A and B are shown apart, each in its own frame.
Chain A
Amino acid sequence: MDFLRATSWAEALRMKADRPDATPVQGGTDVMVEINLDKGRPAALLDLTPVTELTEWSAESGNIRIGAGVTYTRIIAELADRLPGLAQASRTVGSPQIRNRGTVAGNLGAASPAGDSHPPLLATGAIVEAESVDGLRMIPIGDYYTGVKRNALAANELIRAVHVPVRQGPQYFSKIGTRNAMVIAVCSFGLALNVAERTAGTGIGSAAPTPRRAVEAEAFLAENWNPGDPEVGRRFGELVAAAAAPIDDVRGSRDYRVHALAVMARRTLGWAWEEHRRTS
């Protein structure tokens, strides 16, 4: 096993080109667990923490571009006003120590169906900025997740940033777990209302082989734009649950996940609409 230490983004891209088998590491909150518990041993670690280009975020034409080294702690402290859904999801990640190290880009690299940042990224239509020595690619989030812990990155590509659209209305994230900290989601749901366009984006976590949108639920809501109507909320919840394809596992049963998703979808829609009525 080798340890590669990139000190600039250009050097990181060259190292990844030379060693496509290297696993990039930022906060280490996934990668080091695998190594410590001997669940997997990468051929090499590519440490990106010295790459200062990755540690900033910036506002760019309606999006926030979050560098791959920006931690959950900073998203919560600095971006909750513009990216409320992602900030809410970030608050549910691990513990303070984990949030001080973990990054959204790391969540995307691992591409676990249970990753907390995926539902708000799907609900807002985020874009993954990936780069290699061959060039830059902007990958729509809907094309990014390709299978259980699989993503659309090429072997020589690294995630440089994720572009998340600034809120266009209330956003909520809901997650089921056995306690309020250190919980891998039993299932989770992200909702982002676009009040002006009368649409809503959705993201389902930990209830299918990949994180996914509930496309029919979004279409139903757009056609029946009355989120305050309990019947609309109930049907929206049903359609979100229908979009999931969960399994029975140690964290929960298939049936429980389907039921919980319907409840979370209905409730988050209610919270979002209530916030809209209160603030408009």
Chain B
Amino acid sequence: MRVHVTVNGAQMTADDVWPGESLLYVLRERLGLPGAKNACEQGECGSCTVYLDGVPVCACLVAAGQAEGREVRTVEGLASGAGELDAVQEAFVECGAVQCGFCTPGLIVQAHSLIAAHDGVPPDAEIREHLAGNLCRCTGYEKILDAVRLAARRKAGQ
């Protein structure tokens, strides 16, 4: 089947999509967007987190056909231009919140959604809860929490 989806502002078409295929597979294998990572394929790890109509979801659990006519924003679409970084990406780099990097795109999209919804710096408990569906096996999470706090502080002008 054919799926039409707007990804990072561009209208895209994927052909020969198998009806049981996930949005994640379509993004990575058919539309050339490997930012969202394929790890657990059961919604446990959050590495495939993307925005679907502005709401962060696990792309592995969205059937490709369910994305028909909808808007997807992936980690590739967070920064305003080529060669630039979004503020959350910048904070991850500065804080050393990246080690192997596999969980990073999902964490950045999920953290981006938290900071976008907040005017100030969210309490630690809220940051932890918001990121509870994103697993990282390298960092121990402390640097990731630092990066989220830094990005939130900057957005709040602190």
Q: Which residues of A are interface residues toward B (Cβ below 8 A)?
A: 1-3, 5, 25, 27-29, 31-33, 35-37, 41-42, 44-45, 47, 49, 94-98, 100-101, 180-182
CB contact under 8 A between A101 and B42, given known A41-B20, A94-B133, A181-B132: no
Count chain B CB atoms within 10 A of each CB in A27, A36, A41, A182 and give the residue with the most: A36
- Which of A5, A27, A96, A100 has its CB near the most chain B CB atoms (within 10 A)? A96
Contacts of B43 in A (CB 8 A): 29, 32-33, 94-95, 97-98
| Contact present for B133 and A96 (CB under 8 Å) | yes
B40 smallest CB distance to A (angstroms): 9
A36 engages B57 (CB within 8 Å): no
- Report A113 CB to chain B, min CB distance, Å: 19
- Residue from B18, B22, B110 within 8 A of A97 (CB atoms): B110
B58 CB to nearest A CB, Å: 5
- Give the CA-CA distance A104 to B68 in the complex, in Å: 24
Is A45 a contact partner of B63 (Cβ separation < 8 A)? yes
Number of B residues contacting the other chain (C-beta, 8 Å)?
Answer: 28
Question: Does the CB pair B19–A1 fall under 8 Å?
Answer: yes
Q: At the interface, yes or no: B129 with Cβ under 8 Å from chain A?
A: yes
Q: CA–CA, A98 to B133, complex, Å?
A: 8
Q: Please report the C-alpha to C-alpha distance between residue A152 and residue B17 in the assembled complex, in whole angstroms.
A: 34
Asked if A3 meets B1 with Cβ closer than 8 Å, knowing A32-B63, A36-B22, A101-B62, the reply is: yes
Q: Is B35 engaged at the interface, CB distance under 8 Å to the other chain?
A: no
Q: Judge whether B65 and A45 touch: CB under 8 Å.
A: yes
Cβ–Cβ contact B68 & A5, under 8 A? yes
In the complex, A31→B68 CA distance in Å?
18
- A98–B18 Cα distance when bound, in Å, is 23
Contact between chains at B19 and A36 (CB < 8 Å): no
* 24 A-B residue pairs with CB within 8 Å: A1-B18, A1-B19, A25-B63, A27-B61, A28-B66, A32-B43, A32-B60, A32-B62, A33-B42, A36-B22, A41-B20, A45-B19, A45-B20, A47-B63, A95-B133, A96-B132, A97-B43, A97-B46, A97-B57, A98-B58, A98-B133, A101-B58, A180-B129, A181-B132
| Besides A1-B19, A33-B61, 15 other A-B contacts (C-beta < 8 A) | A5-B68, A27-B61, A35-B20, A36-B42, A45-B19, A45-B20, A95-B133, A96-B129, A97-B56, A97-B57, A98-B58, A98-B133, A100-B56, A180-B129, A181-B133
Contacting residues, chain B, for A36 (C-beta < 8 A): 22, 41-42, 60-61
- A29-B61 contact in complex given A45-B20, A182-B44, C-beta closer than 8 Å: yes
Q: Which residues of B contact A29 (CB under 8 A)?
A: 43, 61
Q: B9 CB to closest chain A CB, in angstroms?
A: 21
B130 CB-CB contact with A under 8 Å: yes
CB distance from A201 to the nearest CB of B (A): 28
Least CB distance from A46 to B in Å reads 10
**Cα-based distance from A256 to B66 in the complex (angstroms):** 41
Residues of B within 8 A of A97 (CB): 43, 46, 49, 56-58, 110, 133
Would A101 and B57 be within 8 Å (CB), given that A25-B63, A96-B110 are in contact? yes
Residues of A within 8 A of B42 (CB): 33, 36-37
